[in-house]
Structure 1
Amino acid sequence: MKAIGAPCSDSEGLSVSIVVYHPDIAQLSTTLASFGAACDLLRSVRVGLPVELYLVDNGGLPAMHAALHALHIRGIACTVISGRGNVGYGRGHNLAIERVVSRYHLVLNPDIDLERHALIEALNFLDAHADAGLLTPWIGDNKGHQQFLCRRYPTLLDLFVRGFLPAGPRRLFTRRLARYEMHDLINERDIVWDPPIVSGCFMLFRTDVLKQLAGFDARYFLYFEDYDLSLRAHDVARVVYAPAVRVLHHGGGAARKGSAHIRMFAASAYKFFNRFGWKWL
């Protein structure tokens, strides 16, 4: 584990964890740069706010000296956790979560670009709403179109149609998928309280809530760990969609990543439904 800078003081500040496995270096660098720019704006109004980044290397991370140095000179403490092998997405984040003592913790994907006001808006919202324990933002795609990543509880048919059907046949299920993706409630303007499931690409927690949940369930190697954590979060706090917080997401689905990802998706879906209940159609 390599650390640069000082960690957050007890019960202060913001910590962030990013888990990578053979990352796209250009995209990761862009993500870190956008995070740094958002931190600059955040700390212009919250002078002296401690911020720390944990970059968890599950394998294949080259030296990131320039990108991490750019954060360090901004006063952001950076720690690289490596040498554990590919422990999986949730367990990788847990390596960071178990160390943090911040007030807020952000679970962030390496394919997310933060809008410059994102962190200001997010922390202001949580400061103003003490009952909110997990915040999810407005999420756009590469073209700036909204991605509907809040979810109602899935059925197997929903997952199959959304994840694996080609675009043509998928149109037959447009209304069904719109309901699953909460198109009736999620938009660019309205705050929505308690969406059942939110995306793991950007999950901003009160750290005490995340600690109470013991982080991610490590039984999921990849996929559905965010579904699991979202549903458990409702037991201890409120979950909120706050569209004033804006990010762009450059990720892709399991089917587009090949057969190994399809197998991992299926294995995690089985664990998820076994835990929370099966819904077929």
Structure 2
Amino acid sequence: MYDFTACIVTYNTKQEELKKIICCFQKIELRFKLWISDNSEKDELRKFVEEFLDDRIEYIFNNSNGGFGAGHNVVIKRLGSEDTKSEFHLMVNADVFFEENTIEKIVEYMRENKNIGQIGPKIYGTDGKVTKSCRLLPSPVNLIFRRFLPLKSVVKKLDYDYEMKWYDYKEIIDVPILSGCFIFVRTDVLKEIGGFDKRYFMYMEDYDLCRRVGKKYRTVFYPEAEIIHEHGKASYKSRKMMLLHVNSAIKYFNKWGWFFDKERKEKNRECMKKYKK
């Protein structure tokens, strides 16, 4: 049995970027299995991955781009068989890297706290600044309407609570939504909730999964473990990505509720009452 399994979904990912995160995994002392789930049109990464000559790493060519969640679900379906059993599963972006002992810290803390279903580390950008990665459960105003509001002061006010800008990212807290660039969950919990919802092609699948985990288990921000995320907020840099984000947000609210979402109100109120100073 593995201590943890992991998956990186790629789509026309640069080899240098992928090499950096694979090297991070190769320094891990725990027993693990890593899959590279490739959504690209051509399996050009196969030869590159095989050059690492590491039986802990396996390449999967999906021969189509079904989206971020679909790429991970290919691997999630494999989990639980005799040769893929693991205590935990990590779904991580290719543009993330971390220092030695990062995963070990997370595994140790998860083992000490059996009621945690999903955990998230402190995230830094390449500029050295802490990324405000924790979120409350979003409303349509937070994700859709804010993009079309001309007044920056109004947008800033809307973001303050939703993006938890009042939190200093120093203490361990329970949080409604964790960043999707590094999703670390108990494997049995992931299998229980059924992996990613396939209605999302890109964006919001991580919010949806985190919310489903949080219905039964704790979702915890753990700043004792740190990672670096090189990219971010692509939907703000591309019209195409922005439209994909809006489309997924519409699917999210169709599923969970637009303006009448009792669970959202209760979860957000509980989080702010407990941690907002």
Fold conserved (TM > 0.5)?
yes
- Please point out which of 73, 76, 82 is paired with 1:97: 76
Question: Could you say which residue in structure 1 is the equivalent of 2:180?
Answer: 200
CA deviations on 1:41-61 (whole Å, 9 max, x unpaired) are: xx2xxxxx4210010010055
SS in 1 for 2:70: helix
Question: Could you say which residue in structure 2 is the equivalent of 1:6?
Answer: none
Compared CA separation, residues 157 and 131, structure 1 to 2 (3 A)? same
Q: Does 1:143 align with 2:127?
A: yes
Question: Could you say which residue in structure 1 is the equivalent of 2:209?
Answer: 229
Q: Does 1:191 align with 2:166?
A: no
Q: Does 1:181 align with 2:160?
A: no
Q: Does 1:239 align with 2:223?
A: no
CA deviations on 1:77-102 (whole Å, 9 max, x unpaired) are: 11111143111110110101111221
CA distance in 2, matches of 1:199, 1:260: 22
Question: Could you say which residue in structure 2 is the equivalent of 1:263?
Answer: 243
CA distance in 2, matches of 1:171, 1:17: 40
RMSD: 2.3
CA deviations on 1:122-172 (whole Å, 9 max, x unpaired) are: 001101101111001101111111111111122233225876889xx6465
CA distance in 2, matches of 1:20, 1:110: 7
- In the superposition, the TM-score normalised over structure 1's length comes to 0.82
The aligned length equals 254
Q: Does 1:77 align with 2:67?
A: no
Compared CA separation, residues 216 and 186, structure 1 to 2 (3 A)? farther
Instruction: Give the unaligned 5+ runs of structure 2.
Output: 80-84, 261-277
Preserved CA contact (<8 Å) 2:149 2:155: no
Preserved CA contact (<8 Å) 1:185 1:192: no
Preserved CA contact (<8 Å) 1:36 1:71: no
Compared CA separation, residues 59 and 243, structure 1 to 2 (3 A)? same
CA distance in 2, matches of 1:226, 1:162: 20
CA distance in 2, matches of 1:107, 1:51: 13
SS in 1 for 2:8: strand
Aligned-pair distance for 1:66?
Answer: 5.3
Question: Could you say which residue in structure 1 is the equivalent of 2:20?
Answer: 30
SS in 2 for 1:146: coil
SS in 2 for 1:143: coil
Question: Could you say which residue in structure 2 is the equivalent of 1:87?
Answer: 66
Compared CA separation, residues 64 and 236, structure 1 to 2 (3 A)? same
2:160 alignment partner AA: A
Residue identity over aligned pairs, in percent, reads: 31
Q: Structure 1 stretch 176-185 or stretch 202-211: which is displaced more?
A: 176-185
Compared CA separation, residues 224 and 206, structure 1 to 2 (3 A)? same
2:165 alignment partner AA: H
Preserved CA contact (<8 Å) 1:53 1:77: yes
CA distance in 1, matches of 2:26, 2:208: 30
CA distance in 2, matches of 1:267, 1:226: 15
1:158 alignment partner AA: N
CA distance in 2, matches of 1:69, 1:178: 47
Q: Does 1:62 align with 2:44?
A: yes
Compared CA separation, residues 178 and 26, structure 1 to 2 (3 A)? farther
- In the superposition, the TM-score normalised over structure 2's length comes to 0.83
Q: Does 1:119 align with 2:103?
A: yes
Aligned-pair distance for 1:260?
Answer: 2.4
- Please point out which of 172, 186, 196 is paired with 1:216: 196
CA distance in 1, matches of 2:133, 2:212: 18
CA distance in 2, matches of 1:55, 1:186: 34
Q: Structure 1 stretch 21-30 or stretch 238-247: which is displaced more?
A: 21-30
Question: Could you say which residue in structure 2 is the equivalent of 1:5?
Answer: none
1:103 alignment partner AA: E
